[in-house]
Each structure stands twice: as C-alpha cells, then as structure tokens.
Amino acid sequence: MAIGGAPEALVPPTEETAGPAHVATVSFLASRAVPSGGFFVALAGGTALARVAQRRGAREGYGASVAAMLETLAIMGPARFSVPFTQAVSAPLLGRLEARGWAAAAQVLVCTAMRVLSNAAGVAFFVWVIAGGLDAYAGSYDALAGRLGFSLSEQGTLLITALGLLLWGIFASVVQVSVYRRGLQRWPPAGALAAPATPAAEPHHGRFDPRAVALATAVAFALLLVSTEWALLAAVAGWLALAWVLARPDRGTVPTGLVLAALLAGGALAFTLGAGLGLEQALRRASRAALLVLVATWLRAAAGADGVREVSRRGLGHLGWLPCAPEAARVLDAIGSEGRLTAAGRSLLDAIEGVSRRPVPLVDAVLGWVAGEASRYRTGPPAPVLWLRIRSQDLLLVVVAAAPGAVLLS
C-alpha cells in the first residue's frame, strides 16, 4: 500500500529496485566526492533505499543498498567509503519501520543507536590504527586543554568523544528520519521498469586477475595493521611501487587517493606529535596511514571498475546463504553502468534550478528528483561478465604481497 495513496501493483523486484538503487549510487558517489557535507548529499540515496524496503521488504532493501555501495566502490575505489555507510545500513530498516507505521520518535531512536554504534567503530579505527593508540589520541587533546589552563585525562577524552558522537547521532538522525518520511509520503505511484538484458561475457583487460588484486590488497592491509616497524613499512611500500608499475592501472581515482592519503597521514602526524610521543613515532604512524590509503587506491586502479564489480558479483554469489546477497547480485547487474551518472547529475541540476535555497523548498526539489529519476530509470545491458583465469603472475603477486611479513618473523 502506498503511503497516502491507492494500492500499487507489484512488479518484479529487480525492476522496481533498480531505479532507486541507481539513485542511491549517484547520491552516495557524490557524498564521497564532496569535501564536506557528505551526510546531507547522501540523504537522497538513503530515501531511495528506504523506498525499496518500504515497498519490497528488508531483504530487497538491503540488497539494493549493498549493490549501490559496491557500485560506488567499483567506480571510485575505497576512498571515503564510510561517508554514506551509516545511511546505507539504516535506510532499509527505516523504510520497513515506516511501512509498519512506527512513529517518527521511535525511528529517530533506532537510527540514533545505529549511527552512534557505526560512528564509534569508525572513531575506534582512527584512534587505534591512524592515530596510533589511545595514548596519542588522548595526549593530543590533553595538550590542547593544557593551553587553555586545564588538564584532560584519557577518561575525559573518551567522555567528550562519546558525548560528541551522541549529539551528532541525535541531530543527524532527526534530519535523516524527517527527510526520509517526507520523501516516502510524497513518492508517486510506482511504474513498471524494463527487464534487464542477459549480460555478455568478455575478457578482463587488466594485467592481473582482479581476484588476485583483491587478495593481495587484503594481505597488505593485514600486514600494515599488525606493525609500524620501518622495515615492514619499507617492504610494503616497495611491493606497492612494483605492483603499481606492473599493473597497467587505471589512474582515474589516483588524485582522490593521494589527497586522502595526505589528509590521513597529516592527521596521524598531528595527533602523535600533539601527544608528545616523538617525531620518529609520528612519522611511522603517518607512513602507515598513507600506505593504507595508497594500497586501497591501487586496488581500484589495478582491478578497474569492471574488475571490482566482477569480484563483488562473484563474492555475492558465494554468499547466497546470506539474506539479501542474491538480491544484491541481481541489482548490481541492473545498475552496473557508469555512463548514466553524468546524465543523472545534469537532471538533478535541472531539478533544483531556480528553486529557493531555503531548506524546505530545496529538500522538496531534491526529493522530487529522487522519485522522478528512479521512475525514469530503465535497466539497459548490465556490465559484462568477465572471463577470469588465475595465472602464475597472479599467484606471484599475492606471494610477493605477503613477503614483507617475513620482517615480522626476524
């Protein structure tokens, strides 16, 4: 039943889901690309995913969400993946709660809990991996507090951090639920979409099998998380330089990766120096932060958009026992095309042209674009299935990626 309208005829899940998943891909990509305000940009995509779950159920909603996030990963790589993540996780659930008639206050409570937990995990990763530990994180805050004439303990730092997460979680959840509910209540009746064509198969043109690239990346990530010893950092950097030269990479995401590497390395350096742990420790932690981003950037560059998409598709195929994995695989096939993103961006600019820049009219214009873009979307030929074959060079890539681990045994 449509909220505020007449009953809608059901259409096959993939067709009705593809349009909103396409909108979520556009919105989430934009939220990762803008330097600030990514939360607000991602609201459009979250509304679309909530619509899928409201209409089709939680499995279809989360399938669309997983597909949209994997598509952004294929196009942009892992950079700033966390920006739309919380909305990707919470939007389908909020859509189901709206379908079941939950009050706005109850939805805000659920959303706040999910947002605080998600953001707390992100902060924990920053504290113990990027900043280098609670001593560096708390020490930098204590140094800042000392300049203001008081001291701040580790417990005080954690309390301030928790309070900040809670306040942001409440504010963001109120905005998120309000926008979603407004969008769902104003969504027009659904129309049928065209069925996707059967994908053709073609060979992967990268030098390395994308599955080997993904495995080598995971190995390098694991080693970097274990230690910041100079010998290990130098060995991983050497492997990365060699792998970069040999991979014939797609350089489209390199500028973004370099900027993010510089930002995280600078943050690690500042926190460690601010905590008084010394220049040598700060340089080691900053180097690890930069290498983590550069290895992730190499993954997208070496595997290519089609390679990352194919690894995602096959991974979902192996997870068929997991709820929403089959739905995600079907939707990923239906939205696997970068060519429509520019046209979608232009249509959004047209939709908000001449609209007052006050919050409510602007939100209504964007929500109108979300519903219109989703209903206009037609599933063309999906991204082609790739022929993949593991060769000796792929095995060598993974072995060499693991070789720096020998430093830890010496």
Question: How many Cα atoms are found within 13 Å in the side-chain-facing hemisphere of 251?
Answer: 4
242-301 tens-digit pLDDT: 999 998 888 877 887 888 888 888 888 887 887 777 888 889 989 998 999 899 899 988
Share of the chain above pLDDT 90, in %: 40
User: How many distinct helices (H) and strands (E) make up the chain?
Assistant: 16, 2
Give the span between the Cα atoms of 79 and 359, in whole angstroms: 29
Distances in Å between the Cα of 331 and the Cα atoms of 8, 113, 134, 290, 391 are 21, 28, 41, 34, 30
Among residues 252, 214, 208, which one has the least CA distance to residue 392? 208
- Contact between residue 64 and residue 49 where contact means Cβ atoms under 8 Å apart: yes
Rg (CA), the chain: 23
C-beta atoms surrounding 201 within 10 Å: 9
User: Residue 9: its pLDDT value, please?
Assistant: 41
Q: Which contiguous run of DSSP H or E holds residue 219?
A: helix 210-226
- Give me the residues paired with residue 222 across strands: none
355-395 tens-digit pLDDT: 888 888 889 999 999 998 888 887 766 556 667 778 899 89
Q: How far is CA 68 from the centre of its chain?
A: 9
3-class SS at 69? helix
Q: What's the maximum distance between 2 C-alpha atoms anywhere in the chain?
A: 71
3-class SS at 385? strand
- Contact between residue 46 and residue 88 where contact means Cβ atoms under 8 Å apart: yes
31-83 tens-digit pLDDT: 988 878 899 999 999 999 999 999 999 999 999 999 999 988 888 777 778 88
195 φ/ψ angles, rounded to the nearest 5 degrees: -75, 145
Give the span between the Cα atoms of 305 and 255, in whole angstroms: 16
When the pLDDT of each residue in the chain is averaged and rounded to a whole number, the result is 84
3-class SS at 81? coil
3-class SS at 358? coil
Give the pLDDT band of residue 195 (cuts 50, 70, 90): very low
205-223 tens-digit pLDDT: 668 899 999 999 999 999 9
Give the pLDDT band of residue 141 (cuts 50, 70, 90): confident
203 φ/ψ angles, rounded to the nearest 5 degrees: -75, 155
